[in-house]
Amino acid sequence: MQDTIQTLVGNLSSRDHAACSAAQDALIALGPAAIDQLLPHMLDRSAGSPRRSVQFVIGRMGDEVLPRLREIRSEGPGRLRGSALEMLVELGGADALDERDRRAVERLVRIKILDERPVETPSEGGRWLAFPADRLDDAVAALGLHDVRPATSVMGVAAATQAADSLEFRDADGGKHRAYRVFITPEFSGWRLLFGNSFLDELGGTNLADKVSEQAGEAHFYAIDTYHSSQLWWLARDGHVVRGHSTYSEPEFVGDPLPFELEYMEGEDDPFADPYFVEKYAKGVTDADMAADALSVMPGPMPESTTHGHGWLATTHAEARNSRFKGVLPI
């Protein structure tokens, strides 16, 4: 049997699509019996490694391999323990770990957040909320967030923008719900940013900014869509929009121009001004990054001198804790 499994694992790297696909199907059918010979390849990151195919195969095996993976974590062999941990989280989230492993991960996070400097957040494209850093509790309450727990920024950004950041589940009464996972950054120059692609897209970033501003006094939403050449920024205070811009909306602007916009708008009276920029900013600032830089902070590498505290992971439903979200996160 072991020779057969090893042959199938070797075929995972075959350039013959049919042979590779057949090997995947055969290994998936073997289930837990193949785990011990698959896991060593999780450590192989060389060119031509079957690592990705191995991850796919174990992922397709699903819950039936969780007992064997837990057994490896507790009893060995030692060389497979790391890969077993990775696949446990990939298949079942932190809920798939035993109490000892969960405590170990939480301890590692607490250690890492103590000296995570400098902090870097996504700076190219994307969307985010901004609110005053000293109104964190108000923002959490306004958004109805739960299971708010410390997280490194590397971990939080991956959770909210790269990994699965939403899930469907049934509550204790059988009702169907969708929950989202978000990341709130450390304080940057008096502001905190919130990332969560699915949350912001499906609930509407401008609506959420309005809601947060009702309790936190002020909130902003920014979105940069490079694929569609679209820019959006939105400033809300006390539950109402003060100023906003959206490339494809009608009207393009709402509210009166803010002071930082006037220096760009006044270029139309400058005989030496570039005609392109005179036309572009005739009605106000259209660039979300310019607005963020003027009104709060623009994501990207953050100076250590203006960074304080640590970030937080949270979810939008009390019955969907962070541990229910599947996928491995860097720490």
pLDDT in tens, the chain (331 residues): 676 777 777 777 778 788 888 888 888 888 888 888 888 888 777 777 788 888 888 888 888 888 888 888 888 788 888 888 888 888 888 888 888 888 888 888 888 888 888 888 887 768 999 999 999 999 999 999 999 999 999 989 998 888 888 988 887 777 888 999 999 999 999 999 999 999 999 999 999 999 999 999 999 999 998 888 899 999 999 999 999 999 998 899 999 999 998 888 776 555 555 656 666 777 889 999 999 999 999 998 989 999 999 999 999 998 888 888 888 888 7
226 class by beta-carbon count within 10 Å (0-12 exposed, 13-18 middle, 19+ buried): exposed
Phi, psi of 76 (to 5 degrees): 90, -175
* CA 71 from centre of chain: 31
Closest by CA position to 153, among listed 126, 193, 125: 193
Closest by CA position to 222, among listed 99, 91, 97, 124: 124
Token reading at 136: 């964190």
Query: Who contacts 78 (Cβ-Cβ below 8 Å, separation ≥6)?
Result: none
pTM: 0.84
Report how far apart the first and last C-alpha atoms of the chain are (Å, whole number): 38
- CB hemisphere CA count around 273 (13 angstroms): 17
Euclidean distance between CA atoms 154 and 193, whole angstroms: 14
- Please tell me what DSSP assigns to residue 269: G
Q: Is the CB of residue 34 less than 8 Å from the CB of residue 27?
A: yes
- Please tell me what DSSP assigns to residue 114: G
